[in-house]
Amino acid sequence: MLDATRSTDAETTDVDPTKVRWNQADAKKIYNLPFNDLLFRAQSVHRDHFDPNAIQMSRLLSIKTGGCAEDCGYCSQSAHYPTGLKASKLMEVERVLAEARKAKEGGATRYCMGAAWRSPKERDMEAIVAMVKGVRALGMETCMTLGMLSPGQSARLADAGLDYYNHNVDTSERFYGEIITTRSFADRLETLANVRDAGIKVCAGGILGMGESDDDRISMLVTLANLPTPPESVPINMLIPIPGSKLADAAPVDPIDFVRTIALARIMMPRSHVRLSAGRTDMSDEMQALCFFAGANSIFVGETLLTADNPGEDHDAALFRRLGLRPMAVADGHDAARDAAE
């Protein structure tokens, strides 16, 4: 692996960004650049790899809600906290596919399905596989988030044609134990390795506003960027404090710090989709615009994200018109000519 002392400069063009080995000190220097310099650098990197005015539109559906055995302090679906959310059974396949059709008609190109599990049980795998195959048949990219996966489960989902698997690391390894005790940071990385080894693309990011420090945010991104292959998709969430949860009274994250984290993610993982995920209902249009300028190029559309509120399509469409943005087609993203040359 290459050392980041040479390759942290965005101007370096002869280095494969997926082979860079980042360290905390170099990443922190970039994070702490004057804000205008940081955004200019992030936007420059972004333009080298993506159409700066195209945004990937994804839809997220909760296919099994509540009753999760994990004690994630931010989550409304944990059985450990009195959040008032009732557990449900796994949705029927046809109902999931009906929702996917609606999402496609609404402009979504990726369909993400999430289940509140520690890990899927064998009895549920047949239905999960059918969902993946059905959504792919609609011409959409598929993504699942089902908790921890074994190598065998990962291989089975890969055989079904799953495009992406989401499994966030949530925060830094140092801070992780303050938020979750029922699953270790190493468990998270093991699932990511199982998914990657099966040939599925990785979607992994984290949450800001849980009481972590700037160093924790930077460390989280260093962990992700230093995976054998960086995640193809990096969701950055802003905490939505859930009444009854451990983090119900968490202080909001500073908007400028949030934008700095988006910019650093773009610089460190230039070929990844950086997704502006949960928390957009509490972001001003101006804050979202800064995030897009800093390199965010993916959002979730629809009224809800699993159990949390999300801006509706009308609001997103109006914001896109104001900013001159357009939905990214399935084949969009990396510059085709550049990829062909590589």
Instruction: Give per-residue pLDDT as tens, 48-101.
Output: 999 999 999 888 888 988 768 787 878 777 767 677 677 778 899 999 999 999
Report the pLDDT value the prediction gives residue 330, as an integer from 0 to 100.
62
Q: Which of 41, 59, 110, 112 is catalytic?
A: 112
Q: 31 vs 109, which has greater pLDDT?
A: 31
φ and ψ at 35, to 5 degrees?
-55, -45
The tokens describing 195, both together, are: 């998914």
pLDDT of 8 > 50? The answer is: no
What's residue 20's pLDDT? 78
Which of 44, 40, 43, 53 has its CA nearest to residue 13? 44
Helix ranges (H only) for the chain are 4-7, 24-31, 35-49, 93-105, 122-137, 151-160, 173-176, 185-197, 214-225, 255-268, 285-293, 313-323, 336-341
Mean pLDDT confidence for 138-147? 92
The residue annotated as part of the active site, out of 41, 75, 271, 291, is: 75
| Distance (Å, whole) CA 105 – CA 302 | 12
Residue 13 has pLDDT above 70, yes or no: no
End-to-end Cα distance, the chain:
18
Does 183 qualify as catalytic in the annotation? no
- Helix or strand or coil: residue 54? strand
The per-residue pLDDT of the chain, averaged, comes to 86
Burial 194-212 (b: 16+ CB within 10 A, else e): bbbebebbbbbbbbbbbeb
The secondary structure of the chain in percent helix, strand, coil, rounded to multiples of 5, reads 40, 15, 40
Alpha carbon distance 93, 82 (integer Å):
30
Catalytic residue among 41, 59, 110, 143: 143
State yes or no: pLDDT of 16 exceeds 90: no
Task: Evaluate whether 152 touches 131 at the Cβ level (below 8 Å).
Answer: no
Q: With beta carbons less than 8 A apart as the criterion, state whether 135 and 157 touch.
A: no
Q: What is the pTM of this model?
A: 0.86
Residue 175, token pair as written in the block = 């801070």
Contacts of 224 (CB under 8 A, 6+ apart): 169, 204, 205, 230, 231, 234, 265, 268, 269
Rounded percentage of the chain residues whose pLDDT exceeds 70: 85
pLDDT digits (tens, 9 = 90+) for 195-219: 999 999 999 999 999 999 999 999 9
> Phi and psi of 169, rounded to 5°?
-85, -15
Residue from 41, 68, 217, 260 carrying the catalytic annotation: 68
Query: Rounded to an integer, what distance in angstroms lies between the CA atom of residue 319 and that of residue 334?
Result: 24
291 is catalytic: no
Kindly report the backbone phi and psi dihedral angles of residue 233, in degrees, each rounded to the nearest multiple of 5, phi listed first. -135, 130
What 3-state DSSP class applies to 20?
strand
Contact 204, 149 (CB under 8 A): no
Catalytic residue, from 41, 110, 266, 275: name it: 275
CA distances 148 to 27, 73, 128, 137, 194, Å, are 29, 17, 14, 26, 9
Torsion angle in degrees (nearest 10) through CA of 86, 126, 231, 100: -70
Token pair of 230 as six digits = 């960086």
Strands 304-305 vs 298-301: parallel, antiparallel or unpaired: unpaired
- Is 256 a residue whose pLDDT tops 90? yes
